[in-house]
């Protein structure tokens, strides 16, 4: 997209940013993340329907942060991730520039975080429609059927943690599965250990998942693990009336107590 290239070039030329995180086309035709540091190299940047990865994952990566200020090509899920990262104080608004892309694939001029917030608020923030359909199908199942479905899906997990690594919200430098005193989650990739891992990850993302689906896309063995976090995104909306990544001052639904919180589940 020409406007992304010219904006990226401008930002690098006037030294507003030191690196642009965007997409390029790899030799086999897949779109992949690109890190451009010279104005003359911005021509490699592309944006088309192949560009679906959630690039916000790189905002907390040490080697990328070392460049300095980052310009990032941001679709709606990426914008929402950035908002979450700001609200959780992992990223600071003054350290990033947004090269926005609308849900129709058009360039968006996003001057600052308030403009981005305005855009996010105008968008449909529910889960992608194909995932909504699968979730509706799963929600019709009995408890036992659901359990069997997930046991079957998760039995093939090899614990490569691509789901975690691809997720911008899984930014912990030491994940709970890496603690062994106590060992919260069995290390072995058997059905039991796999289920504990995926349930733990889903719970840690409850109300924080912005429904990008990156965890499911990253999975080398096609486990639809994004449905777990998306289901909780639905629940967070249903019970707390919030969508993650809509404000830079958002508090997490599961780690904040409000005196008027519903407590019906206790009684």
Partner 1 sequence: METTHKIIRKHSLEKLYVTLLENRKIYAPVKQADNLIGYQYNPAFSEVTFDHLQSTLSVKNVVFPKVENLFYYTNNKTDSTVKGIDLEKFPEVVLWGAHPCDTAAYDVLRSIFCWDIKDEFFAARLEKLVVIGLACHKSDALCFCTSVGLSPDSSKGSDILLVPLNNGDYKAEIITEKGSRIVAESPEIFENYGDETVNVTVVEQKFDHKQLTSKLSNAFEHPFWLANSLRCIGCGACAYVCPTCACFDIQDETRGKNGKRYRSWDSCGFGLFTLHTSGHNPREVQSQRWRQRILHKFSYMPERNESLGCVGCGRCSRACPVDMNIAEQLQALQSI
Query: In the complex, which residues of this chain contact partner 1 (CB under 8 A)?
Result: 26-28, 30-35, 53, 57-58, 61-64, 156, 158-162, 164-166, 173, 178, 180, 183, 186-190, 214, 217-218, 220-222
Q: Is the dihedral of CA 25, 245, 211, 169 positive or negative?
A: positive
Residue 76 CB, nearest distance to partner 1 (Å)?
A: 20
The per-type count for the chain, helices as H runs and strands as E runs, is 10, 5
- Closest to partner 1 by CB, 141 vs 158, is 158
CB of 30 to partner 1, least distance (A): 5
Of 112 and 178, which has the nearer Cβ to partner 1?
A: 178
CB of 141 to partner 1, least distance (A): 17
- Our CB check for partner 1 shows the closer of 214 and 248 to be 214
Integer Cα distance of 203 and 217 in angstroms: 19
* CB of residue 148 to partner 1, shortest distance in Å: 14
Which neighbouring-strand residues pair with 20? 36, 71
Q: Give the span between the Cα atoms of 166 and 215, in whole angstroms.
A: 6
Report CA Rg, the chain.
19
Cα three-residue angle 255-237-92, rounded to 5 degrees: 55
Q: How far is the CB of 152 from partner 1 (least distance, A)?
A: 9
- Between 140 and 174, whose beta carbon lies closer to partner 1? 174
Tokens, residue 117: 């917030």
Residue 46 or residue 242: which is nearer to partner 1 going by CB? 46
Closest to 12 in 3D by CA, of 34, 32, 42: 42
Nearer to partner 1, 2 or 173 (CB): 173
The CB-of-85 to partner 1 minimum distance in angstroms stands at 15
Do 169 and 205 form a contact (C-beta atoms < 8 A)?
yes
DSSP string, 199-210: HHHHHHTTTT--
Residue nearer to partner 1 on the CB measure, 185 or 230: 185
Question: In Å, what is the CA distance from 90 to each residue of 96, 101, 123, 134, 263?
Answer: 12, 23, 24, 32, 31
In the complex, the smallest distance separating the C-beta of residue 187 from partner 1, rounded to whole angstroms, is 5
C-alpha 42/C-alpha 102 separation (Å) is 20
């Amino acid at each position: 997209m020409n406007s992304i290239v010219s904006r990226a070039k401008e930002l690098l030329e006037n030294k507003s940013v030191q690196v642009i995180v965007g997409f390029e086309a790899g030799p086999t035709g897949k779109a992949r993340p690109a890190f451009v540091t010279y104005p003359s190299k911005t021509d490699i940047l592309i944006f088309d329907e192949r560009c679906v990865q959630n690039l916000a994952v790189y905002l907390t990566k040490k080697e990328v942060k070392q460049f300095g200020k980052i310009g990032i090509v941001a679709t709606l899920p990426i914008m929402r991730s950035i908002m979450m990262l700001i609200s959780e104080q992992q990223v600071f608004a003054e350290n990033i520039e947004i090269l926005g892309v609308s849900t129709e694939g058009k360039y968006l001029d996003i001057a600052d975080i308030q403009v981005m917030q305005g855009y996010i608020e105008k968008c449909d923030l529910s889960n992608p429609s194909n995932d909504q359909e699968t979730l509706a199908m799963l929600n019709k199942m009995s408890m036992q059927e659901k359990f069997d479905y997930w046991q079957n899906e998760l039995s093939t997990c090899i614990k490569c943690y691509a789901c975690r690594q691809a997720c911008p919200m899984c930014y912990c430098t030491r994940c709970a599965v890496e603690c062994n005193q106590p060992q919260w989650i069995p290390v072995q990739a058997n059905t039991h250990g796999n289920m504990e891992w995926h349930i733990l990850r889903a719970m840690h993302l409850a109300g924080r998942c912005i429904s990008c689906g990156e965890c499911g896309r990253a999975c080398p063995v096609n486990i639809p693990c994004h449905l777990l976090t998306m289901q909780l995104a639905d629940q967070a909306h249903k019970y707390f009336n919030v969508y993650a990544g809509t404000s830079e001052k958002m508090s997490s639904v599961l780690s904040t107590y409000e005196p008027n919180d519903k407590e019906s589940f206790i009684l």
